[in-house]
Amino acid sequence: MKPDRRRFLAYSGAALTASQLVACGRSLEPTAGVPRSRFDEDSSAEEVLAGIDLSGKVAVVTGCSSGIGLETMRVLAAHGAYVVGSSRSIRRAEDACRGVVGVTSPVQLDLGDLDSVVACAETILAMRTPIDMLICNAGYLGGANDRRLINGVEKHFAINHLGHFVLVNRVLQRLFIAEQARIVMVSSRRAYTDAPERGILFDDLGFQHDYDDLPAYAHSKLANALFSLRLSELLRGTRITSNALHPGVIDTDIDRNANAVQRFGLKLVAALAGKTIPQGAATSCYVATAEALGATSGAFFEDCNAVTIGGEHHLYDRSMAARLMQVSEELTSDYLVEQKIPDKEDFKR
Ligand SMILES: NC(=O)c1ccc[n+]([C@@H]2O[C@H](COP(=O)([O-])OP(=O)(O)OC[C@H]3O[C@@H](n4cnc5c(N)ncnc54)[C@H](OP(=O)(O)O)[C@@H]3O)[C@@H](O)[C@H]2O)c1
């Protein structure tokens, strides 16, 4: 197929989003060994947290200024959690925090700028609290098909993956001192429907060939899922778990960079068959808080349940996850800290 035609199809938002609604025909089975929840695609974040008191818990939610992140922060804070919420603009983070009931703190975070990630992590560390929930929710989707590089790496990979990679590294010490901490990676179904066939393009992280924003976004979302998988292995035996999820297809600002036709298609399908924003935040809130998931790590969730997805994809590829970790460390080495487990007594709530 000619690149222009493929690009047109790829960006006729309705067709593509429709394919997301049915997971491109793949089978989704419940993951063995993970407790089933009574929640499903219709459940909202409020329903998931009904009756749950999160007083004394601390959550960090990246991308709190709109969409799923704003709703996640709102519901966690309403249930008593202290929520640190980020945006690229401190003003937007402040507005978001002011707009929710509960105790929240705004922080500035641009995941595409690793100096900003380090500064954000320092701000969080200065709060001197354990972190019970680290919800890596912020996400970027391009729309102009400009193959922009950030530090030599394709922009989606740099923002969605490497930015969160450095953030997790820099604040991990505060998860070690929580009673039981959870890392929640907001990935996407696109990680297994639209990522490159061979998975992470280790030999082409600049995406030199046949560039399109959508596969590049999907590539970064696969990196989110694989990073979570690798974290679950590295953190085995600790009190920290790591899981990834697809929130659903939801009409949010994620399409803000798309053109008018693409946006119309995406909004139409999301309105007809997608989820509402409260439903879109349900899986994040469930994975971050459900008591039943205290020992669940390395799983991929959709509609508040862990799923095992059939067909050819790299979502559970442990050797690819290990290599991604190593390559990400090399790419960001100037920004990483060596992990040491701090003394809990140093950090009183
Ligand atoms: N909506 C869907 O159908 C869907 C489907 C699958 C997965 N997801 C994922 O769900 C997550 C939330 O997306 P959403 O749908 O709620 O979209 P959204 O409304 O656009 O929210 C994205 C958030 O990420 C922040 N963000 C964007 N670029 C950033 C950057 N460079 N550095 C730091 N923060 C940045 C934005 O904050 P500022 O602009 O204020 O910085 C915003 O708060 C994303 O990871 C997305 O990939 C969404």
Q: Are 140 and 112 in contact (CB under 8 A)?
A: yes
Please write the tens of the pLDDT for every residue from 165-218: 999 999 999 999 999 999 999 999 999 999 999 999 999 999 998 899 999 999
Residue 59's pLDDT is what? 98
Report d(CA 107, CA 64) in Å as an integer: 10
Question: Which atom belonging to ligand 1 lies closest to the Cα atom of 221?
Answer: 47
Residue 81's pLDDT is what? 98
Question: Which atom belonging to ligand 1 lies closest to the Cα atom of 187?
Answer: 7
**Mutation test residue for ligand 1: of 19, 21, 68, the one with most atoms within 8 Å of CB:** 68
Selected residue with higher pLDDT from 21 and 132 = 132
- List ligand 1's pocket residues with C-beta within 6 A: 63-69, 87-89, 92, 109-112, 137-140, 159, 186, 188, 246-247, 249-250, 252-254
Burial tier of 77 (Cβ tally within 10 Å: 0-12, 13-18, 19+): buried
Please write the tens of the pLDDT for every residue from 92-149: 999 999 999 999 999 999 999 999 999 999 999 999 999 999 999 999 999 888 889 9
pLDDT band for position 3 (cuts 50, 70, 90): very low
11 catalytic per annotation = no
147-186 burial: b if 16+ Cβ within 10 Å, else e: beebeebbbbbbbbbbbbbbbbbbbbbbbbbbeebbbbbb
**Topology given in CATH for the domain delimited by 41-335:** Rossmann fold (3.40.50)
pLDDT band for position 342 (cuts 50, 70, 90): low
- Active-site annotation holder among 11, 140, 192, 211: 211
Question: Which atom belonging to ligand 1 lies closest to the Cα atom of 64?
Answer: 43
The domain spans of the chain are 41-335
pLDDT band for position 22 (cuts 50, 70, 90): low
CA of 32 to the centre of ligand 1 (A): 30
pLDDT band for position 296 (cuts 50, 70, 90): very high
* % of the chain beyond a pLDDT of 90: 82
Q: CA separation (Å) from 248 to 40, 186, 203, 305, 342?
A: 11, 10, 31, 12, 37
pLDDT band for position 346 (cuts 50, 70, 90): low
Please, what is the angle between helix 13-21 and helix 3-11, to 10°?
Answer: 60
Within 10 angstroms of residue 271's Cβ, the number of other Cβ atoms is 10
Given the DSSP bridges, would you call strands 305-309 and 300-302 parallel, antiparallel or unpaired? Answer: antiparallel
Distance of CA 113 to the CA centre of its chain: 17
Residue 145's pLDDT is what? 86
The pTM of the full predicted model, rounded to 2 decimals, is 0.94
